Amino acid sequence: MAHKYILRVTAGPDYNVASHTEVPVNTAVPTKISSALAEIELNVRIQNYTGLPHGSPRTSPYFEKVPHKANDDQYSVCFRFTAKKPPPKTAKEGSDGNEKDGVAGIKASHLQFGNDLDHPIRDHLPPGINTAIHIVKWWIDPGLEGDVYADKPYFYGPALSSMNAVHCGAASQPDDAASGLGLWFEEGGDTEGMAARQAVGAPTGAKERMKWALGAESKEKWMWEYGKTYGMDFFNPYLDFNNFSLRLPGFQMGILRYWDGQGLR
């Protein structure tokens, strides 16, 4: 059934698809998104890609690099963003609370990453969905919270604990376009970014940071500062976008028979 469909990836500043641009998958040139909230550069990579636009590279040098080759990673959503400071609220509106110890920004608990849908899917959910959710929360991301039975289903977790790599600073590969790789971030940061991580007690390793970020106290300490640039990468081997299947440890499921036509956000 998968051969009857073709994948198209778009990105934009909001949910209105009319404001989106088509993302050139597996290319080195980032897609730029600008809004009142942030400036973003985005690369999307999908292994063995056969979707739109026609003629897209089937793969990226990204998948040959450590750790992605050993992991058999199937996709990556990699971006850097600079959050913009919103205009001050009036006394009537109240404080947004996004300042701690003189540092203004977005609280870790307020910057969420995940999926949501406009319409209910409870009548389309496959047998074993609760088992799949349990595996995801246990094996992949314990910080995820959501409700697939809601009128507007969702699954979100704080980006700080969900992202596989968080880099505090704008640095990436020095030869992005020539390498064919695009944006590349490893756990860490530049000198200023590492000092900020140390100040709040964030571990230097990715797995350690993800575990640390699950704590309520950690989420209170961390701020995505306005005007500062961060790089993040989300990747794993669990979603096969060409066969439209979910591949979890001990659990595999094709999703097309349960799909109701909604786009994945």
Where are the chain's structural domains? Answer: 2-86+98-258
Q: What is the pLDDT of residue 2?
A: 56
Number of residues that this document lists for the chain: 265
> Which tokens is 197 given?
């991580």
Closest CA relative to residue 25, chosen from 76, 79, 81: 76
Return the bridge partners of 232, or none: 79, 166
Q: Are 64 and 229 in contact (CB under 8 A)?
A: no
Q: pLDDT tens digits, residue range 221-238?
A: 999 999 999 999 999 998
Residue numbers in the chain where pLDDT is lower than 50:
90-96, 174-175
